[in-house]
Structures are given as structure tokens and as C-alpha cells.
Chains A and B, each alone.
Chain A
């Protein structure tokens, strides 16, 4: 139980290395990720497929599948009694007391995360009784209360529904109810609205923000959607090739990007006011050439260099460090001052 943690931080990931080692190759899925999540705030981790955002969240939860292993770094977490733990050194047994009661997680696909053979009331109740040693009746009452918190209409009746009887949006509400039933201080939400339609996505995002105001939990929000980031995040971490390339408060990130990748990502999302002329003429969208590199075969220097419009020979020489680029802002680009 070591380490210093900033007073306003609940979670601090420092130089995290999570590798998948096999005989044939080593995939450095997470390679030196560093960020802080402030108490009661939402930190969004944005990235495309293969950026390492999900592996980062699984590392924090201790849910890595073999051969994934934390090779280095620290994951400092402050529990409710203000004690700081390094989750990177936790044994599976230690995680069991932490998961659910202190840290909870919701996933992209609520159907596969729920057991199809049990009613949602039983599943939420199981979670509650695992952590608080209360009777079945009491657990059921608490489960009902949680369903009401997540605004499931006609909650008393839905308690005895099986997951397949519910829509995708309702199932995600059940997942949120289950995650919050033991009042965790940290909620990790891994693409929680990606499988949902826009009108349902809006409902879930609103719900998460209301619950955050009510319960005060901190949220680590993993997503690939910059629109969602703008809506929910206080701070943002942008990942590429297993590394953080930019970190900034949400408003300054969208106002001025300090890394060419972030700039490119925003520029290639269609925006009618920018990409259509007044006569309706369509301008070609900005696009980032090439595709996301495989994690097993990253270039030695900056991972984004082969696709970067600002690349110079120095970018290939060595991995650029994460350098300050403004108030609370960091960029892993040696030319960030030119942006």
C-alpha cells in the first residue's frame, strides 16, 4: 500500500505496461499509459480499435485474460477509507474484495454480461448479498430500489423478468443498477452505449450523469465516439497504439488539439457546417491515410508517424515523451508547439 496520490484523485495510472506475450510475438497492448482520474469526475479514454483502451480498463479491474499480464507500472486507487492501493500488484483474491464494492464495471454488450438463466432481480440481488450479507428478502428490496434508481418503468414487475424479455437499453439499465448496487466509488464504463440506438444512447448518458450527481462516483468512460466524449467527460485521454498521445480537460481538447492524431480524428468526423458549402457543394472530408497499425508491429518512434501529416525524420528516431502542452494538458508529439 504505497505511493503518493494527488489529494483530488481517486485513481492514478502510472506508466502502466500490459503485455500479451506468446512464443511468436509480444503485443504491448498497453505501453506506458499514465493518467489521473479526479474524484467525482468523468475521465474519457478515447481511441480506435487496438489503441489499448479496453485493456487499460481490464488491467484496472484485474480482469485480464491470459496471456495478458501487467509487466510494469502502478495503478493507485484510493478506497472509501482513504487507503491507497496499488492494483497492479493485487492478487486475484485481493481483487475480489475490491470489485463490486469499490470498483464496478459496465460493458458494451449488456446481453452477454447478464446471465440468461436468472431473472434480473436475482442477479442484482446476488451482487448485493455477495457484498453485504443480508437476507434474500432484503436483497430483493434493495434490487427493486436500484431498478427504480435507473428509472426502469414498472420496476416491481420487471424485477422478475429475464434478460431476453428486455430491450437493449433496459438491459444496460439493469447492468448499471447491478454495478451501482454496492455503491462503488469508481465506475468503469467500457463503451456502454456503443450497441445502442441514438435515442437510447441519450437516455443512458443522461442517466449516468444524473446518477453521478446523486451518488458521487467517479467514472472512467471508455469510448471511440468523440460526440459522446464531448457530452460526458470532464477530462480526456486520447490513446493510440497502446500509448497516451494526448491528455487535456474536455473544453480545451475540443478547442485546440495538441496532437496531430486528435486533430485528425476530429477533422474526419463529418460536420455539415464545415464540409458542405453554402450551395450544398460537398468538400472532400479530411482523412487520415492508412490504418491503425497492428500492436505487435509498431514503429520504433512515434506510433502515429507513418500516418502523420507533420512527421519529420526525428519522429522516427525515438519514442516521443509525453510533454506539457498547456494547463493540465500533455502531448506525445515533438512538434506540439507548432499546432
Chain B
């Protein structure tokens, strides 16, 4: 937020939809009609509870799962329309950091080989130059270059996540999807990795989609935030605006129920009732209406359109006007 930012989006996602085939011909509506932009050099946070479709959305953008419909205009090209072979070329520009640093690193490979795999994909030559590049990457993520010959089990969770980040950065991508990169880490180590991501973003001018369920982490790190529920976008906009003035009842409930480390600020809010419904048979109209304290009959009739309410703030609720301050 400190640098002047280019206002053209690096990625424009339009109508991303992902359906999985369920049992007995049922359809799992994992992601439905999700649209948002990510401007160059900024970080967008994608938040939601389990089953909200945030991880599937992130993976669909990279075509790690093939989207069912929609467009992803990345630097002028719709990468969803590319043939698999063409996509391979583009992969260098779009990388991912996974949640679990234990299962996402091959335990049988040494660190230099793990990072080397990514360099292979880019056709990086073997030999001294490659060793130099591995050292450079390890230094970049705050690890000693001496660690190159070690195995993943010799590292702590935080260090492994640094290796995961180094691997993602090896091919010099301009866009990174970070899927819950700190949620498997101890609290005292989370801050180290968040600081690293923030620094790298500034230093390398990275554009990032940061997927998380922890609202305070997203508020801290992200310029904009997209709130998902049961596969759909409920609200999106600049973080400060969304956090200060949430206009969707779901965002409000999420913010009000997140526990705060301050016993004098006890939660006043009555928590949302019930559970997230099944994506096999999502409610008609607004998918949140079954748990919404403000739901009326009209909410069951039509899917609320994502309305622009000023700035870059969008909300999908027919009663959002009543939640303004």
C-alpha cells in the first residue's frame, strides 16, 4: 500500500465456477460465479470457513483443478482458454505456496533438489550456476545456503514453509497463490513467515492471492479482501473498508465472532446458528439465508446480485442498505 500501485489488474477473474461430480450423479457446487480483480503488486485475501470454496477457487485459478466455467484474464490472456501445453508456459508466472509444509515437500529429496525441480521446469542449466541460484533463493527466504543439502525432516515447520516459498519463487513468478501458508505453524513462528511474505512482496513486486480463515491475518496483510460463503462471493472490497464497515450480514458475523486476545472486549454478538449447508444442495436464492439473522422471504427467491456500493466495495445482499452506518 506504500508504493504507488498500478491500477490495471494483473488478474481479472470472471464468473469462475467449479462443479465436482458427486455420488449418484449429484453435483457439488464448490465455486459459483466468482469474480474479482487483483491489481499488480497488491495482495487480495480470500476468506471463508471450510466448505466456502476458497481453496478450490485458488487452485482453479492455477488450473490445478480445471474450472467448469469462467474466465481468468491474466496480463491480457484468458488462461482458462489455453491448451494444457500452452498453460505449461504460463505456469512459470503463477505459483502456489501450500498450507502444510510437512506434506508439500518430498521427504526423500534434499532441499536443493526440491528447489531444483522448480528450476528444471524453467530449463535452468545444471552445475555451478544452479547451485548459486539455490543459495540465492535460500538467502532470500532467510535460510542459510548451507541448508541446501539437508532433508525436509531436519527442519522445523516454519523453516519448511520458507523452503516452500523459495520453491515457488524459483521461477520468478509475478503471481502467487498462498493457500493458508501460516495456519499449520505455531503462533510464535507465524509472524516470521507473515513478515517474510510481506517483505518479499514489496521487494519483488509480487501480486498475491492470500487464502486464509484467520481474519486478523488477512486484515494485516491484504489490500483487498474477498469474503466467500458456500462457493459464492458475499462481499469484497478494500480491507480497511470491509473491516471497518462490513455491509454483508455474514462478514459482520464473522468479524464479531472471531475471538480477540483481550478479555475486556468480550464478545457481545450472538453467534450464527446452525452449520454451513451442503454444497450438493445449496439453498435457493441467497446461500447464506438459512443462517442469516436478517433473512426475509425475498432472500429465497433470487440470487442476490453483487452490487457496487462505492469505492471498490461490492456486496451481495438485498438488505445491505440496512447495514450501512
Min Cβ gap A328→B in Å is 15
Contact with B along A207-247 (1 / 0, CB 8 A): 00000000000000000111111110100000000000000
A339 close to chain B: CB less than 8 A:
no
A276-B220 CB under 8 A given contacts A170-B275, A198-B257: yes
Min Cβ gap B219→A in Å is 5
Indicate if the CB atoms of A251 and B263 lie closer than 8 Å.
Answer: yes
- Taking a contact as CB atoms closer than 8 A, the residue among B187, B267, B291 that contacts A268 in the complex is B187
A272-B243 CB under 8 A given contacts A291-B156, A291-B186, A292-B186: yes
Q: Which of A90-98, A120-128, A277-285 contacts B (4 or more CB under 8 A)?
A: A277-285
B37 close to chain A: CB less than 8 A:
no
Indicate if the CB atoms of B216 and A269 lie closer than 8 Å.
Answer: yes
Cα–Cα, bound, A289→B156 (Å): 13
Min Cβ gap B199→A in Å is 8
Chain B residues within 8 Å of A298, by CB: none
Q: In chain B between 39 and 74, which residues have their CB closer than 8 angstroms to a CB of chain A?
A: 49-50
Q: In chain A between 43 and 100, which residues have their CB closer than 8 angstroms to a CB of chain B?
A: 48-49
Indicate if the CB atoms of B188 and A198 lie closer than 8 Å.
Answer: no
- Taking a contact as CB atoms closer than 8 A, the residue among A199, A265, A292 that contacts B271 in the complex is A199
Indicate if the CB atoms of A254 and B261 lie closer than 8 Å.
Answer: yes
Cα–Cα, bound, A314→B143 (Å): 30
Indicate if the CB atoms of B219 and A284 lie closer than 8 Å.
Answer: no
Indicate if the CB atoms of B198 and A284 lie closer than 8 Å.
Answer: yes
Cα–Cα, bound, A284→B191 (Å): 9
Min Cβ gap A50→B in Å is 9
Min Cβ gap A109→B in Å is 14
Q: What is the number of residues of chain B that contact chain A, defined by CB distance less than 8 Å?
A: 49
Min Cβ gap A273→B in Å is 10
Indicate if the CB atoms of B216 and A285 lie closer than 8 Å.
Answer: no
Chain A residues within 8 Å of B186, by CB: 48-49, 224, 291-292
A202 close to chain B: CB less than 8 A:
yes
Indicate if the CB atoms of A167 and B191 lie closer than 8 Å.
Answer: no
Shortest Cβ distance from A236 into B: residue = B263
Chain A residues within 8 Å of B271, by CB: 199, 202-203, 206
Indicate if the CB atoms of A224 and B187 lie closer than 8 Å.
Answer: yes
A198-B220 CB under 8 A given contacts A268-B188, A284-B195: no
- Taking a contact as CB atoms closer than 8 A, the residue among B192, B263, B267, B273 that contacts A254 in the complex is B263
Chain B residues within 8 Å of A228, by CB: 259
Chain A residues within 8 Å of B243, by CB: 272
Cα–Cα, bound, A289→B275 (Å): 39
- Taking a contact as CB atoms closer than 8 A, the residue among B50, B159, B259, B261 that contacts A197 in the complex is B50
Min Cβ gap A228→B in Å is 5
Indicate if the CB atoms of A271 and B216 lie closer than 8 Å.
Answer: yes
Chain B residues within 8 Å of A266, by CB: 261
Shortest Cβ distance from B186 into A: residue = A48
- Taking a contact as CB atoms closer than 8 A, the residue among B49, B191, B219, B262 that contacts A272 in the complex is B219
A227-B258 CB under 8 A given contacts A197-B213, A251-B264, A270-B216: yes
A198-B191 CB under 8 A given contacts A231-B266, A281-B2: no
Indicate if the CB atoms of B259 and A231 lie closer than 8 Å.
Answer: yes
A110 close to chain B: CB less than 8 A:
no
A163 close to chain B: CB less than 8 A:
no
Indicate if the CB atoms of A199 and B219 lie closer than 8 Å.
Answer: no
A286 close to chain B: CB less than 8 A:
yes
Indicate if the CB atoms of A231 and B190 lie closer than 8 Å.
Answer: no
Shortest Cβ distance from B255 into A: residue = A198
Indicate if the CB atoms of A272 and B259 lie closer than 8 Å.
Answer: no
Chain A residues within 8 Å of B82, by CB: none
Q: In chain B between 186 and 244, which residues have their CB closer than 8 angstroms to a CB of chain A?
A: 186-192, 194-195, 198-199, 213, 215-217, 219-221, 240, 243
Min Cβ gap A307→B in Å is 8
A272-B220 CB under 8 A given contacts A198-B49, A198-B213, A199-B271: yes
B118 close to chain A: CB less than 8 A:
no
Min Cβ gap A241→B in Å is 12
A288 close to chain B: CB less than 8 A:
yes
B116 close to chain A: CB less than 8 A:
no
A311 close to chain B: CB less than 8 A:
no
A9 close to chain B: CB less than 8 A:
no
Indicate if the CB atoms of B261 and A269 lie closer than 8 Å.
Answer: yes
Q: A270-B191, A270-B221 given. 14 additional CB < 8 A pairs?
A: A153-B274, A203-B273, A206-B271, A224-B187, A226-B187, A229-B261, A230-B261, A230-B265, A280-B1, A282-B221, A284-B199, A288-B188, A291-B158, A307-B188
A sample of 17 inter-chain contacts (CB < 8 A) reads A197-B213, A198-B254, A198-B259, A199-B253, A203-B271, A227-B258, A231-B266, A251-B264, A270-B217, A270-B221, A271-B261, A272-B216, A272-B243, A280-B240, A281-B1, A287-B195, A288-B191
Nearest 6 pairs of A and B residues by beta carbon: A227-B259, A202-B271, A268-B191, A197-B49, A270-B220, A287-B191
- Which A residues form the contact surface with B (CB < 8 A)? 48-49, 153, 167, 169-170, 197-203, 205-206, 224-231, 233, 250-251, 254, 264-266, 268-272, 275-276, 279-282, 284-289, 291-292, 307
